Amino acid sequence: MSELGYRVKKVKDLIVTVPDNFNLEPFAIIFGGLYYATPSWMKQQVPQELLKSKPFVFAPWQYTIDEIQRRIKGIKIKSVSGFSKGGLRAYPAISNGYSFVGLIDPSIEGSYSNITIPSNSNVVLVYQKGRTWGSSSLKYAISKLKNSGVKEIFPVSYSHSEIPKLFFQKFGSKL
């Protein structure tokens, strides 16, 4: 048993955490964003109890899911979430059959208008109420999610950098 209740390993720019009681369950992939939202910072936003209970891969937003799978051979993925610029990786994952997709105050460019959102999608979107950056693509994504039956869409009055911690506290059990 480790001191923390989980083990941490770096794989190039990725941070992998595995609970001490790991039984080959699928991983939660978490994409960070620009500047401060590094894999290390994203890991700090996750409650310790959650890190002790499920395996994670924290990735820079520049990575793709395919690249993560090339670097971590045999990885099984349960969920994909992305914060800020990492939303560019999480949003397209909605159509790939993962059991959960988390959009954490995401950047969502209009080029993803061709993404198919299955009607039974388990998606949560938490975004900063009144934000102005990327607002037209966010409005488009909200409309598309609602039209597909996604109900868990939450505007919040938190700063951009506070939203990941809130997301993991509130929706961590879905990852």
Could you give all domains of the chain from N- to C-terminal order, each with its CATH number? 6-174 (3.40.50.1820)
The C-alpha R_g of the chain, in whole angstroms, comes to: 15
Q: Are 91 and 134 in contact (CB under 8 A)?
A: no
The C-alpha atoms of residue 162 and residue 63 are separated, in whole angstroms, by 23
What integer pLDDT is reported at residue 116 of this predicted model?
Answer: 75
Contacting residues for 71 by C-beta, under 8 A, at least 6 apart: 11, 12, 14
pLDDT in tens, 52-61: 999 999 999 9
Q: Are 99 and 79 in contact (CB under 8 A)?
A: yes
pLDDT in tens, 27-48: 999 999 999 999 999 999 999 9
84: which 2 tokens? 């800020």
Mean pLDDT confidence for 101-128: 82
54: which 2 tokens? 């499920």
Reference 154, options 142, 162, 140; nearest CA is 142
If pLDDT is split at 50, 70 and 90, which confidence band does 17 have?
A: very high
What integer pLDDT is reported at residue 137 of this predicted model?
Answer: 79
If pLDDT is split at 50, 70 and 90, which confidence band does 173 have?
A: very high
What integer pLDDT is reported at residue 111 of this predicted model?
Answer: 53
How far is the CA of 111 from the CAs of 92, 128, 171, in angstroms? 10, 22, 27
The C-alpha atoms of residue 70 and residue 115 are separated, in whole angstroms, by 24
Q: Which amino acid is at 152?
A: E
Q: What percent of the chain has pLDDT over 70?
A: 96
What integer pLDDT is reported at residue 67 of this predicted model?
Answer: 97
* pTM: predicted TM-score of the whole model, two decimal places: 0.94
User: Between 110 and 149, where is the model more confident?
Assistant: 149
